[in-house]
Amino acid sequence: MDAQSKIVTDALAAAEWVSRALSESGYRADFSLESLKEIDRFFDEHVLDAKPKVGGLLSQRLGSRLFAIGAYVGEVIRRHNAGEWHGDDNDPQAEINLALRLKSGATLWPVKRVMNRFKIGAEYSIWKYGVVASESP
C-alpha cells in the first residue's frame, strides 16, 4: 500500500467513516463483497435522475460523500483481492484518480465508478464491479 500518500490515508479513513455512517443508516456496510449490493441499494434510494434526492443522505456534501463511498468500494475490493492503493498527492484531482491495483495486474478507479453510478445509474452497478474485479485472474 502506498503509505506515503496522504490521499490513500484519507481514503482509508473515509472508507471507515462511511462504513459506520451507512451502518447507522440501516445499510450493511461490513466490508464484505456482499455489502456492495447495499451500495447499489443506497444509490437507488438516494438518487433520482442523476441528482441527490431532496433531504436524502447525498443532499449535502455530495463530493466528499461520493469520495468516501468510492473509497469504501475500493477497500472492499482491495481486501478481497490483495490489492494496493495508489494515489498522487500532487494530482489536482487526486480524489477522483485514486487507483487500486489488484494482484491480477488490473487497475481500478473505484471513485470514478461511484461517480458514474451516481450520474448514469444502475448500469454502473457497484455489486457487479466488485464481482468482476474479484473474478479477475
Please state the rounded mean pLDDT for residues 61-90: 95
Structure pTM? 0.94
Nearest to 73 by CA among 112, 106, 47: 112
Residue-by-residue DSSP string for 44-110? HHHEETTEEPTTSTTSSSHHHHHHHHHHHHHHHHHHHHT-EEE--TT-TTHHHH-EEE-TTS-EE-H
Q: 40 or 135, which is more confident? A: 40
* pLDDT band, very low/low/confident/very high, at 82 (cuts 50, 70, 90): confident
Under the banding of pLDDT at 50, 70 and 90, the label for residue 136 is: low
- Do 85 and 11 form a contact (C-beta atoms < 8 A)? yes
Give the pLDDT band of residue 2 (cuts 50, 70, 90).
very low
Contacts 24+ apart (CB under 8 A), 50-59: 50/118, 50/119, 50/120, 50/121, 57/25, 58/118
Phi, psi values for residue 51, rounded to 5°: -135, 150
**Predicted pLDDT of residue 137:** 57
pLDDT digits 0-9 by tens, 94-123: 999 999 999 989 999 999 999 999 999 999
pLDDT given at position 126: 98
> Is residue 1 over pLDDT 80?
no
For the chain, domain boundaries:
6-135
pLDDT in tens, 15-36: 999 999 999 999 999 999 999 9
Q: Can you give the pLDDT at residue 134?
A: 86
Sheet holding 84-86, edge to edge: 84-86, 99-101, 107-108
